[in-house]
Amino acid sequence: MFPRPIQQASAPAQTAYKTMLPIALILWLLPLIAVAVFSIKPASDFTQGNYWGVPGSFELFNNYGQVFFNSDMPRYMLNSVLITVPTVIGAVALSAMAGFALGVYKFRSNIWVFFMFVAGNFVPFQILMVPVRDLTLDLGLYNTKTGLVLFHIAFQTGFCTLFMRNFIRALPFPLIEAARVEGVAEWRIFWYVVLPLMKPALAALAVLIFTFIWNDYFWAIVLTQGPDAQPVTAGITSFNAQYRAAYHLMSAGSIVAALPPVLMFFLMQKHFIAGLTLGAVK
């Protein structure tokens, strides 16, 4: 193990390490802690210039109540859910199939199709912006959740296929061959042999894509406008415009907007990290 385990160090060094840990963490999360404190302060603190002192009163319920019952935030949150969930399902389904095809079958253009997905996943969004916006307008899907979902599914398929294909490659191939010898149809092999083995990959991708799509901002402002279709990342800017300089409300709004992926991460931590670090070890 590297660095040398702290248990082998002298007692003062161990104590020093254990005191440094929380200090380092507080420094690391300082900007976030500041926002959390802002979100429970009363408005009067800000007008009186008490930005960093002790909160004048505890206004957690008032501030978050404002966000939930007195603004468009719930609508934006609902939009985000309605955009994110179908995208996760669509992208995972498409890429499970594509990953199966690329991971199991040997055909001449296999690696080129695979590289097309990988390369497409790396391109800057801006090169797609004008044509995709145009296409969405032509389809009559501008400023709809469907328009955003269709694009997200397509784009995320690149990353997901890379992920799925590498995962399927690592599965025991004799299993598939055995099924073939038995005369099992190819699509049944996918459904009954490969898919059950892919559960960890499906879970990892689902949480990752959920976070990526929930946090998307660029496409939200390119393809939608207004509270009918905009997700919460874009909505938070209009929310902030509405409550300009009301830092307690803006902070509470930001925390609410950030919460679902955070919950997702803490609940599904193992899958989340497995997904992010795929390929980080041989």
Closest to other proteins by CB, 59 vs 190, is 190
Q: Which of 266, 269, 104 is nearest to 198 (CA)?
A: 104
Among 60, 130, 178, 267, binds other proteins (CB under 8 A): 130
Q: Which of 105, 235, 100, 239 is nearest to 168 (CA)?
A: 100
Token pair for 139 = 């389809």
Among 13, 18, 177, 199, binds other proteins (CB under 8 A): 18
Q: Are 67 and 253 in contact (CB under 8 A)?
A: yes
| 229 touches other proteins by CB under 8 A | no
9-37 b/e with 16+ CB inside 10 Å = b?
Answer: eeeeeeeeeeeeeeeeeeeeeeeeeebeb
Question: Scanning residues 41 to 100, which ones bind other proteins (CB under 8 A)?
Answer: 46, 49, 51-52, 94-95, 97-98, 100
Q: Which of 263, 272, 243, 212 is nearest to 80 (CA)?
A: 212
Whole-Å CA distances, 96 to 74, 103, 172: 33, 10, 17
Tell me the window of 62-70, 71-79, 195-203, 217-225 that interacts with other proteins (CB under 8 A).
Answer: 217-225
Among 10, 23, 54, 108, binds other proteins (CB under 8 A): 108
| Helical pair 247-267 and 199-214, crossing angle rounded to 10 deg | 170
Least separation in angstroms between residue 117's CB and other proteins is 7
Least separation in angstroms between residue 31's CB and other proteins is 5
Closest to other proteins by CB, 69 vs 124, is 124
Vertex 117 angle, CA 229 and 270, to 5°: 70
| 125 touches other proteins by CB under 8 A | yes
Tell me the window of 30-38, 56-64, 68-76, 197-205 that interacts with other proteins (CB under 8 A).
Answer: 30-38
Tell me the window of 69-77, 81-89, 197-205, 268-276 that interacts with other proteins (CB under 8 A).
Answer: 268-276
Looking only at Cα atoms, what is the longest distance across the chain?
A: 79
Among 123, 175, 178, 267, binds other proteins (CB under 8 A): 123
| 215 touches other proteins by CB under 8 A | yes
Tell me the window of 60-68, 69-77, 182-190, 196-204 that interacts with other proteins (CB under 8 A).
Answer: 182-190
Least separation in angstroms between residue 171's CB and other proteins is 13
Token pair for 245 = 């300089």
DSSP SS3 for 41: coil
Among 48, 60, 105, 226, binds other proteins (CB under 8 A): 105
Least separation in angstroms between residue 185's CB and other proteins is 8
| 170 touches other proteins by CB under 8 A | no
| 148 touches other proteins by CB under 8 A | no
Closest to other proteins by CB, 66 vs 102, is 102
Least separation in angstroms between residue 216's CB and other proteins is 8
